[in-house]
Structure 1
């Protein structure tokens, strides 16, 4: 057992499998008492079972740590509140929450149904909000705490996961809002964008040049939860095996200003290409390269 998180209480959602499980185990191994939350569903969000959370609690206890299971659904306000209240009632406080819970329902945008959109946004984005909402109220009173959200490189966009990408982009904005609103109370908020081998990454349609294991991601999360990171807030970090990287903050690239006559569509058409221009989409270029390579292969 280490002591990087000694004395801290941490709640982890989606902690029954994959990255969430690795985070829960790593936190416990570094001295934290852990609330292990998992609704126990399949990748698409169906067939819940509480057994996966209980199994992780047993692993932690077998290694000499302290943990308790909560099987509530984070997409409900009561679920997020119960995760945090369990931490406070069981261990007296909550020092960190880590929102890993998520599901996938893939479909091209023009075929996506409401039943494929709503549950993904509810689990990822609302599920982060429900836990953040409950935890931030406690942390504000404590004068300390850490919120960790989970996003994805797919917040840039996705061919067949518009629901997932929208949720992950929303989580980044939620984290940045939390960082701004809670800074005065001594509470930090950051995001992790993992690239790791899990059941959710198994069907990624393009080859991942950089990928690691859930344990790589867990190490970054433990760091962000620790006192070593108490001055870090509002950041998005990629973790992909041996690589860690920080994403740029949103900012304007170029601007143009109209004179006293103001803008018209015709004046914009004449001025924009040579002044404001565009900012290329790296993923679009990658997709075009893949299509070109596939076409060349078929032509051989």
Structure 2
């Protein structure tokens, strides 16, 4: 606040100007007081708003961390139960109505895909880049084809269950399918590991066993669940249909992939010689 006569700065409670001695009018103090009070109230309101926003943000962050920790604990606990049942008494889990949660199932699938890709990246030599674009693309394609193959087997299992009228949910079939194929994936990874440490005969044997386990898994699930349902057709017909579907898919796969590799080899030899 300033003096109206000389412009000197005066305080709120001053009665006279310290420079010129002019008496300070009362209305100047009255006019100034609401301004100071309004500024103080605005500042206090802003501080309270910022404090409230900070508190709400802290609560939201804490809730997110608690929620994530809870889900991680549940997945870890259910994963331990999954492997315990797979190694000790799988048929007890298959015959019951118990099914693992989707978050556990997909977590196990992602972990298996990553481990498979890591083993293949160690096993596949750098020279394979001469036949294709890069080593990483070869590793990814093999891992992706393995995942697609398991998805196809799962789809065939669902079709067979519908054909013979075994009434199970997709969730239950997926849970049982993953549980049954645990040993298939373990044998496959062990086979790749033995190939890495230069024990090819034992490694290839484990990989072949892994493939056989995977191919048998739909039939095994049919035989486990058929005694609890009124079947539409005998199991033997479903097995014949499964073999027929598998033969058609195998032929399509061989014609589509092997022919591409043969053409790649031919183009490589033609460019070399």
**TM-score with structure 2 setting the length:** 0.27
**TM-score with structure 1 setting the length:** 0.25
Greater share of residues in helix:
2
Greater share of residues in strand:
1
